[in-house]
Structures are given as structure tokens and as C-alpha cells.
Amino acid sequence: MYLQENGYINAYITLNNYDWYIETLFQEAIDKGIKVDLEKLKNFYVSVISEGIEHHDQLAITHIGRSPKHVLLLHEMDITALFVGDLADSLREEGWDIISPENAYTDDIASYKTQKVLRYNPGRVGEIALDKGQSSNLWHHTLDENYLRERFRTEVLGSEAGEDF
């Protein structure tokens, strides 16, 4: 109520990801003295986030009939500072336009209010899909910590991981 009375809207995201968990894995490897190949880490980071973006965009196309102006949440961390430029370049190469949050929030989905509140929010697109009857695949598998840990171990650390990771 306060937000509306004061001309604010609820900030939302449409593209959820676990960049924070990739950072956790990165820091864990460093703490354990495991050598991290930054090129492999960059490729992993960009790939994981891009896969999640594609999933959420397809979810939007299925449930609202179009690709909305998306809002991607990225946390302020070492890994973001290292690779946000690479991510932006990759997204542009895939045909995405990078726009400001102010521009994104002009999309019609900005005024959408979900009928259900979940313990773990699937983002605005996931809320719309849930309200339209979809009950599974609201979250992409790149939001699963076990999946990310194993993929990080394989794609980034490889033989450097040892049995400890």
C-alpha cells in the first residue's frame, strides 16, 4: 500500500539466476587452494545465466505470448565484476538488447500482481505462469545448487577439484 500511495512500484525480476551460488563455489575453491581457470569460469558463468534467461523467456512466450522487457538480477560480487561485460557481450550476440530498469518497468507486466505467494519466488514470469496453471518448471535447473556444484566441478575445476570439492 505504501509503495502505491507514494508513486512507487514493486521492483521485480523476470530472469532469476543463482549467480550468488556461483560466487560461493568460486570462493570455496579459492579458500581450498584450488586453482580456478578464469576463462573456464567465465564460460560457465555466461552459459549458466544465458540458459536461465532462455528458459524464462520461453516461459514468458508460452504464458503471455511474447518476450517482455526482462529484468535480470545480478548481485554485486567478484564474479559479477569479472564477467558482467562478457555476459552483456554474449547476450548482445544472441540478439538481446540491454535496456535500463526504468525502461523495463514500462512493460505491461510491471503492474501484474500474482494471486499466489510462494516461499521461493520464481520471478514475475514464473508468477504469471503459476497463476495460469503451470505448477512445474517455474524454476530452471540452473537454480539447483547440486546441479551447479557438479557442473562447476566438471566444467571449471576439472582435475583440479580433487575429492574435496
pLDDT tens figures, 28-37: 999 999 999 9
Q: Which of 116, 119, 136, 117 is nearest to 62 (CA)?
A: 136
The pTM score is: 0.91
The per-residue pLDDT for range 66-113, each reduced to its tens digit, is 999 999 999 999 999 999 999 999 999 999 999 999 999 999 999 898
Domain ranges in the chain are 27-160
Q: Which of 45, 14, 20 is nearest to 122 (CA)?
A: 14
Q: Which of 53, 48, 56 is nearest to 134 (CA)?
A: 56
What angle in degrees, to the nearest 10, is found between the helix axes of 78-93 and 38-64? 60
Say which DSSP state 106 is in.
Answer: T
